[in-house]
Amino acid sequence: MRSIFIRQLSDEGILSETERLRLEAQSSSKLFSLHWELKTMLYLGVLLLSGGLGTLIYKNIDTIGHQAILAAIGALCAGCFWYANKHKPPFSWQKTESPNPWWDYVVLLGCLLFISFIGYLQAQYNVFGMRYGMAAFIPMLVLFICAYYFDHIGILSLAITAFAAWLGISITPMHILSDNYFGLERRLIDTGLLVGLVLTAAGAFSEYKKKKPHFAFTYYNFALHVFCIAALAGMIIEDGLLLLYTPALIAGLVFYYLLGVRIRSFYFLLMTVLYGYIGAGYLVIYTLIQAWDSLETGVLYLSIIYLIGSSILMARILIRLNRKLKAHADL
Protein backbone atom coordinates (compact mmCIF):
# COMPACT_ATOMS: atom_id res chain seq x y z
CA MET A 1 0.00 0.00 0.00
CA ARG A 2 1.18 3.49 -0.82
CA SER A 3 2.68 5.25 2.20
CA ILE A 4 0.43 8.30 1.77
CA PHE A 5 -2.60 6.05 2.01
CA ILE A 6 -1.19 4.31 5.06
CA ARG A 7 -0.71 7.66 6.78
CA GLN A 8 -4.12 8.95 5.76
CA LEU A 9 -5.94 5.80 6.82
CA SER A 10 -4.23 5.58 10.18
CA ASP A 11 -4.99 9.28 10.80
CA GLU A 12 -8.61 8.49 10.10
CA GLY A 13 -8.40 5.64 12.54
CA ILE A 14 -9.40 2.95 10.04
CA LEU A 15 -6.08 1.14 10.21
CA SER A 16 -5.15 -0.28 13.57
CA GLU A 17 -1.67 0.38 14.92
CA THR A 18 -0.46 -3.19 14.28
CA GLU A 19 -1.75 -3.09 10.72
CA ARG A 20 -0.01 0.21 10.10
CA LEU A 21 3.30 -1.14 11.36
CA ARG A 22 2.90 -4.33 9.36
CA LEU A 23 2.16 -2.41 6.16
CA GLU A 24 5.08 -0.07 6.68
CA ALA A 25 7.41 -2.98 7.29
CA GLN A 26 6.08 -4.75 4.21
CA SER A 27 6.61 -1.91 1.77
CA SER A 28 10.34 -1.99 2.48
CA SER A 29 10.78 -5.75 2.11
CA LYS A 30 8.44 -6.89 -0.59
CA LEU A 31 9.28 -10.01 -2.60
CA PHE A 32 9.73 -9.61 -6.33
CA SER A 33 7.93 -12.35 -8.23
CA LEU A 34 9.49 -13.78 -11.39
CA HIS A 35 6.48 -16.03 -11.91
CA TRP A 36 5.28 -14.72 -15.27
CA GLU A 37 8.73 -14.14 -16.70
CA LEU A 38 9.75 -17.73 -16.01
CA LYS A 39 6.42 -19.08 -17.18
CA THR A 40 6.72 -17.23 -20.48
CA MET A 41 10.26 -18.54 -20.93
CA LEU A 42 9.07 -22.07 -20.27
CA TYR A 43 6.21 -21.67 -22.71
CA LEU A 44 8.54 -20.37 -25.43
CA GLY A 45 11.10 -23.06 -24.67
CA VAL A 46 8.53 -25.84 -25.03
CA LEU A 47 7.15 -24.24 -28.18
CA LEU A 48 10.61 -24.03 -29.76
CA LEU A 49 11.67 -27.46 -28.61
CA SER A 50 8.60 -29.33 -29.85
CA GLY A 51 8.54 -27.36 -33.11
CA GLY A 52 12.27 -27.81 -33.70
CA LEU A 53 12.26 -31.54 -32.97
CA GLY A 54 9.19 -32.02 -35.17
CA THR A 55 10.94 -30.31 -38.06
CA LEU A 56 14.19 -32.14 -37.41
CA ILE A 57 12.60 -35.56 -37.85
CA TYR A 58 10.99 -34.68 -41.15
CA LYS A 59 14.11 -33.06 -42.54
CA ASN A 60 16.18 -36.12 -41.75
CA ILE A 61 13.60 -38.67 -42.70
CA ASP A 62 15.73 -40.52 -45.23
CA THR A 63 19.10 -40.20 -43.58
CA ILE A 64 20.85 -42.59 -41.26
CA GLY A 65 20.56 -40.23 -38.33
CA HIS A 66 16.82 -40.29 -38.17
CA GLN A 67 16.56 -43.35 -36.01
CA ALA A 68 18.88 -41.78 -33.49
CA ILE A 69 16.68 -38.68 -33.51
CA LEU A 70 13.62 -40.83 -33.11
CA ALA A 71 15.18 -42.65 -30.19
CA ALA A 72 16.15 -39.35 -28.60
CA ILE A 73 12.61 -38.02 -28.94
CA GLY A 74 11.20 -41.22 -27.54
CA ALA A 75 13.57 -41.08 -24.59
CA LEU A 76 12.83 -37.41 -23.92
CA CYS A 77 9.11 -38.07 -24.12
CA ALA A 78 9.37 -41.02 -21.76
CA GLY A 79 11.47 -38.87 -19.42
CA CYS A 80 8.83 -36.14 -19.41
CA PHE A 81 6.04 -38.58 -18.61
CA TRP A 82 8.13 -40.28 -15.94
CA TYR A 83 8.89 -36.96 -14.25
CA ALA A 84 5.31 -35.77 -14.62
CA ASN A 85 3.95 -38.95 -13.16
CA LYS A 86 6.37 -38.91 -10.27
CA HIS A 87 5.47 -35.41 -9.13
CA LYS A 88 1.78 -35.63 -9.98
CA PRO A 89 -0.79 -34.91 -7.31
CA PRO A 90 -2.95 -38.01 -6.66
CA PHE A 91 -5.68 -38.46 -9.23
CA SER A 92 -9.12 -37.13 -8.44
CA TRP A 93 -12.22 -36.33 -10.44
CA GLN A 94 -12.12 -32.89 -8.84
CA LYS A 95 -9.69 -30.10 -9.61
CA THR A 96 -6.18 -30.87 -8.40
CA GLU A 97 -3.58 -28.18 -7.86
CA SER A 98 -0.53 -28.56 -10.09
CA PRO A 99 2.69 -28.74 -8.06
CA ASN A 100 4.27 -25.81 -9.97
CA PRO A 101 4.32 -24.14 -13.39
CA TRP A 102 7.43 -26.06 -14.38
CA TRP A 103 5.53 -29.35 -13.99
CA ASP A 104 2.66 -28.07 -16.19
CA TYR A 105 5.02 -27.53 -19.07
CA VAL A 106 6.85 -30.83 -18.65
CA VAL A 107 3.50 -32.57 -19.09
CA LEU A 108 2.77 -30.45 -22.13
CA LEU A 109 6.16 -31.18 -23.69
CA GLY A 110 5.66 -34.90 -23.13
CA CYS A 111 2.31 -34.83 -24.92
CA LEU A 112 3.61 -32.78 -27.84
CA LEU A 113 6.60 -35.06 -28.32
CA PHE A 114 4.38 -38.11 -28.19
CA ILE A 115 2.25 -36.67 -30.96
CA SER A 116 5.30 -35.91 -33.10
CA PHE A 117 6.33 -39.51 -32.52
CA ILE A 118 2.99 -40.89 -33.72
CA GLY A 119 2.98 -38.56 -36.71
CA TYR A 120 6.45 -39.76 -37.62
CA LEU A 121 5.53 -43.42 -37.30
CA GLN A 122 2.59 -42.86 -39.63
CA ALA A 123 4.67 -40.95 -42.17
CA GLN A 124 7.58 -43.36 -42.21
CA TYR A 125 6.18 -46.79 -41.54
CA ASN A 126 2.53 -46.15 -42.35
CA VAL A 127 1.50 -47.96 -39.17
CA PHE A 128 -2.11 -46.98 -39.54
CA GLY A 129 -2.14 -47.81 -43.22
CA MET A 130 -4.79 -45.99 -45.15
CA ARG A 131 -6.94 -45.45 -42.07
CA TYR A 132 -6.06 -41.76 -41.85
CA GLY A 133 -8.82 -41.29 -39.33
CA MET A 134 -6.83 -43.41 -36.92
CA ALA A 135 -3.75 -41.24 -37.34
CA ALA A 136 -5.79 -38.28 -36.09
CA PHE A 137 -7.81 -40.28 -33.61
CA ILE A 138 -4.91 -41.75 -31.60
CA PRO A 139 -3.29 -38.39 -30.76
CA MET A 140 -6.68 -37.04 -29.80
CA LEU A 141 -7.28 -39.97 -27.49
CA VAL A 142 -3.84 -39.58 -25.91
CA LEU A 143 -4.45 -35.87 -25.38
CA PHE A 144 -7.81 -36.46 -23.73
CA ILE A 145 -6.39 -39.15 -21.46
CA CYS A 146 -3.46 -36.91 -20.46
CA ALA A 147 -5.74 -33.94 -19.90
CA TYR A 148 -7.87 -35.91 -17.44
CA TYR A 149 -5.02 -37.85 -15.88
CA PHE A 150 -2.81 -34.82 -15.27
CA ASP A 151 -5.65 -32.29 -14.92
CA HIS A 152 -4.29 -29.88 -17.51
CA ILE A 153 -6.51 -27.32 -19.21
CA GLY A 154 -3.93 -26.54 -21.91
CA ILE A 155 -3.85 -30.19 -22.99
CA LEU A 156 -7.64 -30.35 -22.81
CA SER A 157 -7.81 -27.41 -25.23
CA LEU A 158 -5.37 -29.19 -27.54
CA ALA A 159 -7.48 -32.34 -27.30
CA ILE A 160 -10.65 -30.46 -28.18
CA THR A 161 -8.94 -28.92 -31.20
CA ALA A 162 -7.68 -32.34 -32.20
CA PHE A 163 -11.22 -33.69 -31.90
CA ALA A 164 -12.53 -31.02 -34.26
CA ALA A 165 -9.60 -31.65 -36.61
CA TRP A 166 -10.42 -35.33 -36.59
CA LEU A 167 -13.88 -34.42 -37.87
CA GLY A 168 -12.31 -32.05 -40.37
CA ILE A 169 -12.67 -28.49 -39.06
CA SER A 170 -10.35 -26.19 -37.26
CA ILE A 171 -11.60 -24.36 -34.17
CA THR A 172 -8.76 -22.37 -32.67
CA PRO A 173 -9.50 -18.65 -32.36
CA MET A 174 -7.25 -17.48 -35.21
CA HIS A 175 -8.12 -20.28 -37.60
CA ILE A 176 -11.83 -20.81 -37.17
CA LEU A 177 -12.69 -18.19 -39.77
CA SER A 178 -9.65 -18.28 -42.02
CA ASP A 179 -9.11 -22.03 -42.39
CA ASN A 180 -12.62 -23.36 -42.78
CA TYR A 181 -14.02 -22.91 -46.26
CA PHE A 182 -17.65 -23.02 -45.18
CA GLY A 183 -18.70 -21.70 -48.58
CA LEU A 184 -17.30 -24.69 -50.47
CA GLU A 185 -19.08 -27.46 -48.68
CA ARG A 186 -22.22 -27.51 -46.63
CA ARG A 187 -20.85 -30.57 -44.85
CA LEU A 188 -18.39 -28.36 -42.96
CA ILE A 189 -21.16 -26.19 -41.58
CA ASP A 190 -23.02 -29.23 -40.37
CA THR A 191 -19.81 -30.65 -38.91
CA GLY A 192 -19.39 -27.38 -37.01
CA LEU A 193 -22.87 -27.70 -35.58
CA LEU A 194 -22.18 -31.31 -34.66
CA VAL A 195 -18.88 -30.46 -32.94
CA GLY A 196 -20.71 -27.74 -31.03
CA LEU A 197 -23.37 -30.17 -29.87
CA VAL A 198 -20.89 -32.85 -28.84
CA LEU A 199 -18.73 -30.38 -26.91
CA THR A 200 -21.79 -28.94 -25.20
CA ALA A 201 -22.77 -32.45 -24.17
CA ALA A 202 -19.24 -33.04 -22.87
CA GLY A 203 -19.43 -29.81 -20.88
CA ALA A 204 -22.79 -30.74 -19.43
CA PHE A 205 -21.45 -34.19 -18.56
CA SER A 206 -18.46 -32.74 -16.69
CA GLU A 207 -20.67 -30.28 -14.90
CA TYR A 208 -23.50 -32.57 -13.82
CA LYS A 209 -21.61 -35.80 -13.26
CA LYS A 210 -18.92 -33.85 -11.37
CA LYS A 211 -16.15 -35.38 -13.47
CA LYS A 212 -13.56 -32.57 -13.51
CA PRO A 213 -16.26 -29.89 -13.29
CA HIS A 214 -13.73 -27.11 -13.96
CA PHE A 215 -13.27 -28.51 -17.49
CA ALA A 216 -16.89 -27.66 -18.29
CA PHE A 217 -16.06 -24.04 -19.02
CA THR A 218 -13.43 -25.01 -21.61
CA TYR A 219 -15.85 -27.35 -23.39
CA TYR A 220 -18.66 -24.81 -23.32
CA ASN A 221 -16.39 -22.06 -24.55
CA PHE A 222 -15.26 -23.93 -27.67
CA ALA A 223 -18.78 -25.27 -28.21
CA LEU A 224 -20.46 -21.86 -28.10
CA HIS A 225 -18.13 -20.34 -30.67
CA VAL A 226 -18.01 -23.20 -33.12
CA PHE A 227 -21.78 -23.72 -32.96
CA CYS A 228 -22.69 -20.07 -33.42
CA ILE A 229 -20.13 -19.46 -36.15
CA ALA A 230 -21.28 -22.54 -38.05
CA ALA A 231 -24.94 -21.52 -37.71
CA LEU A 232 -24.18 -17.97 -38.83
CA ALA A 233 -22.16 -19.29 -41.76
CA GLY A 234 -25.13 -21.48 -42.66
CA MET A 235 -27.48 -18.50 -42.55
CA ILE A 236 -25.24 -16.29 -44.62
CA ILE A 237 -23.90 -18.75 -47.19
CA GLU A 238 -26.73 -21.21 -47.69
CA ASP A 239 -29.48 -18.78 -48.69
CA GLY A 240 -32.09 -21.42 -49.23
CA LEU A 241 -31.67 -22.91 -45.78
CA LEU A 242 -32.33 -19.81 -43.70
CA LEU A 243 -35.26 -21.58 -42.10
CA LEU A 244 -33.02 -24.40 -40.96
CA TYR A 245 -30.03 -22.49 -39.60
CA THR A 246 -31.82 -19.54 -38.01
CA PRO A 247 -33.71 -21.74 -35.52
CA ALA A 248 -30.45 -23.59 -34.86
CA LEU A 249 -28.73 -20.32 -33.99
CA ILE A 250 -31.63 -19.20 -31.83
CA ALA A 251 -31.66 -22.51 -29.97
CA GLY A 252 -27.92 -22.33 -29.35
CA LEU A 253 -28.15 -18.74 -28.16
CA VAL A 254 -31.02 -19.46 -25.79
CA PHE A 255 -29.17 -22.44 -24.34
CA TYR A 256 -25.96 -20.50 -23.77
CA TYR A 257 -27.77 -17.44 -22.49
CA LEU A 258 -29.48 -19.54 -19.84
CA LEU A 259 -26.17 -21.25 -19.12
CA GLY A 260 -24.50 -17.88 -18.63
CA VAL A 261 -27.23 -16.83 -16.20
CA ARG A 262 -26.99 -20.13 -14.35
CA ILE A 263 -23.22 -20.24 -13.91
CA ARG A 264 -23.19 -16.43 -13.51
CA SER A 265 -20.73 -15.96 -16.32
CA PHE A 266 -20.87 -12.57 -17.96
CA TYR A 267 -18.62 -13.80 -20.74
CA PHE A 268 -21.26 -16.21 -22.06
CA LEU A 269 -23.97 -13.58 -21.86
CA LEU A 270 -21.86 -11.12 -23.82
CA MET A 271 -21.01 -13.69 -26.47
CA THR A 272 -24.61 -14.77 -26.97
CA VAL A 273 -25.68 -11.14 -27.20
CA LEU A 274 -22.96 -10.44 -29.78
CA TYR A 275 -23.77 -13.48 -31.92
CA GLY A 276 -27.46 -12.66 -31.64
CA TYR A 277 -26.72 -9.12 -32.73
CA ILE A 278 -24.83 -10.32 -35.80
CA GLY A 279 -27.59 -12.78 -36.71
CA ALA A 280 -30.37 -10.24 -36.27
CA GLY A 281 -28.41 -7.61 -38.18
CA TYR A 282 -27.93 -10.03 -41.05
CA LEU A 283 -31.62 -10.87 -41.15
CA VAL A 284 -32.70 -7.21 -41.12
CA ILE A 285 -30.26 -6.12 -43.79
CA TYR A 286 -31.00 -9.20 -45.88
CA THR A 287 -34.69 -8.33 -45.77
CA LEU A 288 -33.95 -4.70 -46.67
CA ILE A 289 -31.84 -5.75 -49.64
CA GLN A 290 -34.68 -7.95 -50.86
CA ALA A 291 -36.74 -4.77 -50.96
CA TRP A 292 -34.16 -2.88 -53.04
CA ASP A 293 -36.53 -2.58 -56.02
CA SER A 294 -39.12 -0.60 -54.15
CA LEU A 295 -36.92 1.37 -51.74
CA GLU A 296 -33.70 1.93 -53.76
CA THR A 297 -31.24 4.13 -51.84
CA GLY A 298 -33.68 4.19 -48.97
CA VAL A 299 -32.19 0.78 -48.14
CA LEU A 300 -28.86 2.42 -47.36
CA TYR A 301 -30.38 5.00 -45.02
CA LEU A 302 -32.58 2.45 -43.32
CA SER A 303 -29.60 0.12 -42.82
CA ILE A 304 -27.48 2.82 -41.21
CA ILE A 305 -30.34 3.95 -39.00
CA TYR A 306 -30.94 0.33 -38.00
CA LEU A 307 -27.26 -0.13 -37.13
CA ILE A 308 -27.10 3.03 -35.02
CA GLY A 309 -30.36 2.23 -33.26
CA SER A 310 -29.41 -1.35 -32.59
CA SER A 311 -25.95 -0.33 -31.28
CA ILE A 312 -27.57 1.91 -28.72
CA LEU A 313 -29.97 -0.87 -27.81
CA MET A 314 -26.98 -3.23 -27.43
CA ALA A 315 -25.30 -0.81 -25.06
CA ARG A 316 -28.42 -0.68 -22.92
CA ILE A 317 -28.69 -4.48 -22.89
CA LEU A 318 -25.04 -4.87 -21.89
CA ILE A 319 -25.34 -2.37 -19.06
CA ARG A 320 -28.48 -4.08 -17.79
CA LEU A 321 -26.87 -7.54 -17.97
CA ASN A 322 -23.84 -6.25 -16.12
CA ARG A 323 -26.03 -4.91 -13.35
CA LYS A 324 -27.78 -8.27 -13.17
CA LEU A 325 -24.54 -10.21 -12.62
CA LYS A 326 -22.61 -7.52 -10.76
CA ALA A 327 -21.62 -9.91 -7.99
CA HIS A 328 -19.57 -12.11 -10.32
CA ALA A 329 -18.22 -9.72 -12.88
CA ASP A 330 -15.53 -12.06 -14.14
CA LEU A 331 -15.84 -15.01 -16.50
Q: Which of 16, 67, 85, 290 binds another protein (CB under 8 A)?
A: 16
Q: Does 74 bind another protein (CB under 8 A)?
A: no
Which of 144, 169, 141 is CA-nearest to residue 155?
144
Q: Does 166 bind another protein (CB under 8 A)?
A: yes
- Binders of another protein among residues 213 to 232 (CB under 8 A) are 214, 217-218, 221
Distances (CA, A) of 59 to 56, 69, 75, 123, 126: 5, 11, 20, 12, 17
Q: Which of residues 147 and 246 has its CB atom nearest to another protein in the complex?
A: 147
Dihedral (CA of 119, 122, 125, 128) sign: positive
Q: Which of 267, 278, 280, 284 binds another protein (CB under 8 A)?
A: 267
> At its nearest, how many Å lie between another protein and the CB of residue 277?
10
Q: Does 301 bind another protein (CB under 8 A)?
A: yes
CB 135, CB 118: distance < 8 Å: yes
Q: How far is it, in rounded angstroms, from Cα 203 to Cα 4? A: 49
Q: Which of residues 75 and 315 has its CB atom nearest to another protein in the complex?
A: 315
Q: Does 261 bind another protein (CB under 8 A)?
A: no
The length of the chain, given as a count of residues: 331
Q: Which of 77, 84, 118, 146 binds another protein (CB under 8 A)?
A: 118
Q: Which residues of 82-118 are buried (b: 16+ CB within 10 A; e: fewer)?
A: ebbeeebeeeeeeeeebeeeebbbbbbbbbbbbbbbb
- Range list of H helices, 126-150: 132-150
Binding mask 274-293 for another protein (x = CB under 8 A): x-------------------
Cα–chain center distance at 303: 34
Name the one range near another protein by CB under 8 A: 160-168, 196-204, 234-242, 246-254.
160-168
> At its nearest, how many Å lie between another protein and the CB of residue 75?
14
Dihedral of the alpha carbons of 284, 258, 189, 158, in degrees to the nearest 10? 140
> At its nearest, how many Å lie between another protein and the CB of residue 207?
15
Q: Does 270 bind another protein (CB under 8 A)?
A: yes
Q: Does 64 bind another protein (CB under 8 A)?
A: no
Q: Which of 22, 209, 262, 324 binds another protein (CB under 8 A)?
A: 22
Q: Does 234 bind another protein (CB under 8 A)?
A: no
Nearest-Å Rg of the Cα atoms of the chain is 26
CB 296, CB 302: distance < 8 Å: no
> At its nearest, how many Å lie between another protein and the CB of residue 298?
11
Name the one range near another protein by CB under 8 A: 86-94, 229-237, 247-255, 311-319.
311-319
Q: Does 56 bind another protein (CB under 8 A)?
A: yes
> At its nearest, how many Å lie between another protein and the CB of residue 324?
11
Q: Which of residues 122 and 246 has its CB atom nearest to another protein in the complex?
A: 122
Phi-psi region of 13 (alpha: psi -120 to 50; beta: other; left: phi over 0): left
Q: How far is it, in rounded angstroms, from Cα 196 to Cα 194? A: 5
Q: Which of residues 36 and 86 has its CB atom nearest to another protein in the complex?
A: 36
Q: Which of 11, 17, 52, 64 binds another protein (CB under 8 A)?
A: 52
